[in-house]
């Protein structure tokens, strides 16, 4: 156990130190620049990573919870078959965790739109990309821990029901409160997301008249002179 822990944490740290020292002593230390990496990475990469982590971690939490609960239901159902049907509600609770992640992934995907390359690397677009990344990471970890919590509680509920039928409802209350934890993360991100606020501009030569108030992070849809164009301002957090 100790050797595995040392190998898991010590080896990556050792490799990072070796690479850093190599870059330092070969006069390539500027390549080891976190700020440069953040500035040169496309905002679409951060947004896509956030969406992927949101769905991936949520599905991981749901699968982990179903693994824990399902094993206990099947094991206890061999001796007490009556618990098999009643305890399927624990599987449903675990599956809902994955649905939370899919919902947020769909919501976040609607925030990604095509932007001309000349207007991609802006402060507002960086803000949107980072917001989508950390928002998806938050939802994913909330659902991961929620799925683990529901799985352990559901496993305990199945075993307790097999031993004493009167304990099922009592343990189920604990499981319900555990499943609400993922809902808290979902609600927090939903309340922080602002819908795309549409801005209308009238193109008159080189001048534009803004019709509504300014919001951060905009994506411009091209328009001809003399026509109205729509500008979507994406502000995941307000």
Number of H helices, E strands in the chain: 7, 4
Lowest mean pLDDT among 55-64, 80-89, 184-193: 184-193
List, for residues 8-38, the tens digit of each pLDDT value: 667 778 888 888 788 778 877 666 677 777 7
| C-alpha torsion 102→103→105→106, nearest 10 | 120
Residue 214 has pLDDT above 70, yes or no: no
**Residue written as token pair 């190599």:** 22
Say what the pLDDT of residue 198 is.
37
Confidence band (pLDDT; 50, 70, 90) for 149? Answer: very high
């Amino acid at each position: 156990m100790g050797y595995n822990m040392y190998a898991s944490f010590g080896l990556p740290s050792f490799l990072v130190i070796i690479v850093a020292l190599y870059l330092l002593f070969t006069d390539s230390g500027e390549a080891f620049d976190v700020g440069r990496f953040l500035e040169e990475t496309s905002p679409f990469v951060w947004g896509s990573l956030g969406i992927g982590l949101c769905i991936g971690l949520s599905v991981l939490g749901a699968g982990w919870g179903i693994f824990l609960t399902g094993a206990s239901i099947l094991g206890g159902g061999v001796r007490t078959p009556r618990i098999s049907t009643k305890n399927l509600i624990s599987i449903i609770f675990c599956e809902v965790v994955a649905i939370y992640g899919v919902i947020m992934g769909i919501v976040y995907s609607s925030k990604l739109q095509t932007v001309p390359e000349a207007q991609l690397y802006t402060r507002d677009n960086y803000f949107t990309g980072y917001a989508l990344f950390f928002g998806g990471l938050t939802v994913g970890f909330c659902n991961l821990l929620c799925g683990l919590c529901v799985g352990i509680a559901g496993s305990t509920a199945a075993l307790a029901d097999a031993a004493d039928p009167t304990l099922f409802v009592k343990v189920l209350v604990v499981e319900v409160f555990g499943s609400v934890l993922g809902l808290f993360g979902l609600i927090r991100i939903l309340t922080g997301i602002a819908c795309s606020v549409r801005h209308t501009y009238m193109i008159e030569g080189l001048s534009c008249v803004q019709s509504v108030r300014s919001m951060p992070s905009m994506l411009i849809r091209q328009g001809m002179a003399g026509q109205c164009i729509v500008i979507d301002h994406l502000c995941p957090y307000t």
